[in-house]
Amino acid sequence: QVQLVESGGGSVQAGGSLRLTCTLSGFDYATYHMVWFRQAPGKEREGVAGICSDQTTTYADSVKGRFTISLNNAKNVLYLQMTSLKPEDTAMYYCAAARWSCYSLPEARGNMDFWGKGTLVTISS
């Protein structure tokens, strides 16, 4: 059974850091495009960071230089390290996977095969 389970969300002040974890099971994620998305209240879900099977990474302009995506194959986890957090980073964060592909972040939203249920990140000013 395919499972993606996010954790690590919470409430921090602006300027702080959080590391989100997505625990993966039930599929060969090494061959998938793994993406972190976020959705703020009243806004569309947007891709913020992706990592392809060849380890190529992409980031949304809004998080470039502040967020880092990584995949730890030995631990079966996908990470999103977030630093210099801003109130506008407040959102529900989701991890997702798409097989045999490497989409741009705008394309990824409609093409993911598996999704987690999300973890909430709240940044206060």
Which whole number is the average pLDDT over 110-119? 96
Q: For the segment 50-104, what is each residue's pLDDT rounded down to a tens digit?
A: 999 999 999 999 999 999 999 998 889 999 999 999 999 999 999 999 998 899 9
Q: What is residue 57's predicted lDDT score, i.e. its pLDDT?
A: 96
Q: What is residue 59's predicted lDDT score, i.e. its pLDDT?
A: 98
Task: Answer whether residue 121 shows pLDDT above 90.
Answer: yes
Print the SS3 string covering the chain. Answer: CCEEEEECCEEEECCCCEEEEEEEECCCHHHEEEEEEEECCCCCCEEEEEECCCCCEEECCCCCCCEEEEEECCCCEEEEEECCCCHHHCEEEEEEEEECCCCCHHHHCCCCCEECCCEEEEEEC
Q: What is residue 41's predicted lDDT score, i.e. its pLDDT?
A: 92
